[in-house]
Structure 1
Amino acid sequence: MVVVVIAGFSVQLAAGRSSFDAPPLVHAHALVFMGWLALYGAQAATAATGRRDWHRRVGWIAPWWMVAMVVLGCLVTLALVRRGGVPFFFTPLQFLIFDPVSLLTFAGLTGAAIVWRRQTDWHRRLHLCGMAVLLGPGLGRLLPMPLLAPYAWEATVAVSLLFPLAGAVADLRRTGKVHPAWHWGVGTILAATLLTELLTYSPAGTAIYAAVTAGSPGAAVAPLAFPPPPGG
């Protein structure tokens, strides 16, 4: 999963579709989210090599780091929507809803993993499900998103679910049954997806969009219309 995210951003950078010419808020967002990848990879390594002492010490960084991720992620989303600059394969309202919902879903699953840290079977599976929620931006830079519209976001969710489903299959092959943590993790992701769809196409979603974009260029953008592609 870490490789997927790094590959997605690296491909875009190599193709010239991404650059470091971005506002400080975006740089802060990038540093914090890439820092989570480093933290997640390090924790997986310490657990796999039996360094439980380091695993426990470093693990207490996670709750505080998640707070920064949720705050910065939401601020970047609001900034993009208000300036009318969301990716053209998402509608502005869908982007406004799915980003915060995804971040809160990640935080909920990861928080549950921390609470259940003494039950290591639950701990590692819930952590993996939480990490799967974060794959959208990386996958979106690898998948042919313009060709997947109007279901580009739903496609990234479907692909990200392959990782927890692979874990469930591994359990089934190894023990003959699927651990209940996978049911809770995948079920939570699916529930968040459904909530996003319901809010996006509801009067509540339209009201949220109007309140967020009031007094900004985004207010002139139709909430459920796909923006024109670059150069379109």
Structure 2
Amino acid sequence: MALVMAVTIIAGFSLQLAAGRSTFRSPPLVHAHAIVFMGWWVIYLLQNVFVTRGSMTLHRKLGWIAVMWTVPMVFLGCAVTVAMVRAGHVPFIFRPLQFLIFDPMTVFTFVGLTAAAVVMRRRTEWHRRLHYCGMSMLLGPAFGRLLPMPLLVPWGWEAAFAACLIFPVIGMIADRRRTGTVHPAWSRGVAVMIASFIVTEAITYSPVGSAIYTAVTAGSPGAEVPPLDFPPPPTGPLITGR
């Protein structure tokens, strides 16, 4: 499944590039974001390879590097989102305020699940499943590039999130077929994922969300963009900038 996740990510971003909707002429901040987040799935894939081969010393050493790797992921994930919202460059398939909330919330939820997996590293059955759920949270951008998002407005983000849940469901089915029961780590991990979805929606359509948007966009072109209105589709080439 780590390989399937990797293929999903590669497919999504390759399609974006092949369709001309992405460009390497993006700002340095976007490139840094890409390197760090792509680096995570490489780490995740290697960790699974090490475990499969019984290379537990390498697995543990890379695991502590992975812990430190999440720090720039949080910073860059939030920084790129804020930069796009302030510039008024939120993709037209998302409400600007929703975009401002769900991008960081996705990263925070990923970090929470990853931290829980690290804390429970001596309980392998919990450790690997929580990591798996955390990685599933990061697949939203890939699905957002594979799904026909313009046709899914106004439910594009919700559809991408639902697609991310496919992976934990596959894990549950595999557990059931293999052992006859579903490990409780799945219910905990999925509950956290769904809770993040509910919190995102609640903040988006609340005065708190409006206050956050106002504070973030103050003094920028984004302040002139209605926070809950979908931006108009671009009249020229559809280039997302990332």
Q: Give TM-score scaled by structure 2 length.
A: 0.95
Alignment correspondent of 2:199: 195
Identity of aligned residues (%): 63
- Provide the residue aligned with 1:96 in structure 2: 100
Distance in 2, matches of 1:111 and 1:143, equals 30
Deviation at 1:112, TM superposition (A): 0.6
Candidates 142, 147, 151, aligned match of 2:146: 142
Residue of structure 1 in register with 2:239 after alignment: none
Please give the alpha-carbon distance, in whole angstroms, between the structure 1 residues aligned to 2:158 and 2:140: 10
Question: Where does 1:39-78 land on structure 2 (aligned, <5 Å)?
Answer: 39-78=43-82
Q: Comparing both chains, which one has the higher relative contact order based on Cα–Cα distances under 8 Å and sequence gaps of 6 or more? A: 2
CA deviation map 1:144-181 (0-9, x unaligned): 00111111001011111000110011101111111010
Query: Structure 2 residue aligned with 1:231, among 226, 235, 241?
Result: 235
In 1: Cα distance, 2:61 partner to 2:19 partner? 39
Counterpart residue number, 1:108: 112
**Aligned counterparts of 1:16 and 1:227: Cα–Cα separation in 2:** 20
Within 2, Cα distance between the matches of 1:19 and 1:107? 28
Q: What is the TM-score of this pair, normalised by structure 1?
A: 0.99
Please give the secondary structure, in 2, of the residue aligned with 1:215.
Answer: coil
- In structure 2, the residue matched to 1:176 is 180
Q: Matched residue of 1:141: which SS?
A: helix
Q: Secondary structure at the match of 1:159?
A: helix
- Cα distance in 1, alignment partners of residues 211 and 199 from structure 2: 16
> After TM superposition, which residue ranges in structure 1, 4 or more long, deviate above 3 angstroms?
none
In structure 1, C-alpha distance between the alignment counterparts of 2:45 and 2:76, rounded to whole Å: 21
Aligned residue pairs, count: 232
Write the deviation string for residues 98-130 of structure 1: whole angstroms up to 9, x where unpaired. Answer: 011110000000111111111110010000000
C-alpha displacement of 1:44:
0.8
1:152 corresponding residue in structure 2: 156
**Cα displacement (A) at 1:143:** 0.4
Q: Establish whether residue 79 from structure 1 lines up as the match of residue 83 from structure 2.
A: yes
- How far did residue 55 of structure 1 move? 0.5
Aligned 1:12-51 pairs, distance under 5 A: 12-51=16-55
Q: Distance in 1 between matches of 2:226 and 2:61?
A: 48
| 3-state SS in 2 of match to 1:21 | coil
The answer for unaligned runs of 5 or more in structure 2 is 237-242
Q: Structure 2 counterpart of 1:174, which letter? A: R
Backbone CA RMSD of aligned residues? 0.8
> Hey, what does 1:133 align to over in structure 2?
137
